[in-house]
Structure 1
């Protein structure tokens, strides 16, 4: 089995060099963190719809297979991927990076992000993206939330104490400048003022106006 270890190391170090906090457990109560998770739900649902697969709602845990869009597109890639647990062990043993795991679910999405980067030029992945240009990278938004906050399994899937539902949000951009704008203009997660879609659209318009 080919597991593309050189590419995995390259992508992990790229994440670390861009911002080492991505691979750590952080607690900053960012509103953008919750919105990035909800935006991921929207992206995952879009992929499942295009691929004519059922979106299975969140339960009490994050299931790796249900979130693995690569396997949805090209099941044969499973023969070229380490298991999630082997991936975490490999990253720790070879790179001395301990990805948050067990009840912390950041690692699942780090695993999926890294393998997406490894296989993003696979013919089936590229052809699907070309055929459906509205589709987005499934994981390049949610990976950014780990710089500030984490996903935790409690009595459901939570981000900084808020249990996540299966309702999504569409973020017009996951660029850092817009995420920072959201956090400057919204209260912390502990204030329970998570914007719904109309407020997100309002923030996006205000952000664009501020750039003029």
Structure 2
């Protein structure tokens, strides 16, 4: 499918407005956002491994962009000022999510069918009012400093059992009560959540 720059930009602007209108600005610090971020990083590195992207650092915004490795034509689109405009991480991740969902119709995804959607967890953080930034070289989600070294080194992967708000709110409630330390993995959290009617 041929890339139509004007059509893409019109759709891009429409989708950006739709998403920004859905953001629930909330100053509460939510531990569920940490899990969502680790889920996102794990998904990102599944894609990077398949695409043979060799550098493992994530020190720049651009290092999160896997679209340009899927099709060289995308680089021309990403050179546009509207895409590369300087902004915080939240705004950049919204752009990546929108561009991914527009441009994936131009890619033969059959060989990637077993890979998860990369940017869904990171968008969920933003829609729930979360804040993503780097301070002193460390990623922070809300006010939580998040170590992703084990993910970057391929030692661990983190996947949230669900991206549904009800489950994420359940995680935040358990964290607030100091009960998340009782879980050894996210499957345990999920099982408890599924049985929450008798446990809460």
Contact (CA 8 Å) 1:39, 1:171: kept in 2 or not?
yes
Q: Which of 132, 137, 150 is the equivalent residue of 1:151?
A: 132
Contact (CA 8 Å) 1:48, 1:55: kept in 2 or not?
no
Which stretch of structure 1 is more off in the superposition, 179-188 or 33-42? 179-188
Distance 1:105 1:16, change over 3 A: closer
1:95 alignment counterpart: none
Matches within 5 A, 1:126-205: 127=109, 130-146=110-126, 147-156=128-137, 157-166=139-148, 167=151, 168-187=157-176, 198-205=184-191
**What is the SS of the residue equivalent to 1:120?**
helix
**Gap regions ≥5 residues in structure 1:** 90-99
For these two proteins, the number of residue pairs brought into alignment is 185
Contact (CA 8 Å) 2:46, 2:115: kept in 1 or not?
yes
Runs of 4+ displaced beyond 4 Å:
193-197
1:208 alignment counterpart: 194
2:28 alignment counterpart: 28
**Gap regions ≥5 residues in structure 2:** 152-156
Q: Could you report, residue by residue, the CA deviation over 1:21-48 in whole angstroms, capped at 9, with x for unpaired residues?
A: 3xx6x53210111111111110011001
For 1:204 and 1:182, the matched residues in 2 are separated by 9
**What is the SS of the residue equivalent to 1:186?**
helix
RMSD: 3.0
For 1:160 and 1:123, the matched residues in 2 are separated by 34
Distance 1:196 1:185, change over 3 A: closer
Contact (CA 8 Å) 2:61, 2:89: kept in 1 or not?
no
For 2:130 and 2:122, the matched residues in 1 are separated by 11
Distance 1:81 1:170, change over 3 A: same
Question: Could you state the TM-score of these two structures normalised by the residue count of structure 2?
Answer: 0.78
Question: Could you state the TM-score of these two structures normalised by the residue count of structure 1?
Answer: 0.74
Contact (CA 8 Å) 1:151, 1:158: kept in 2 or not?
yes
Contact (CA 8 Å) 2:174, 2:180: kept in 1 or not?
no
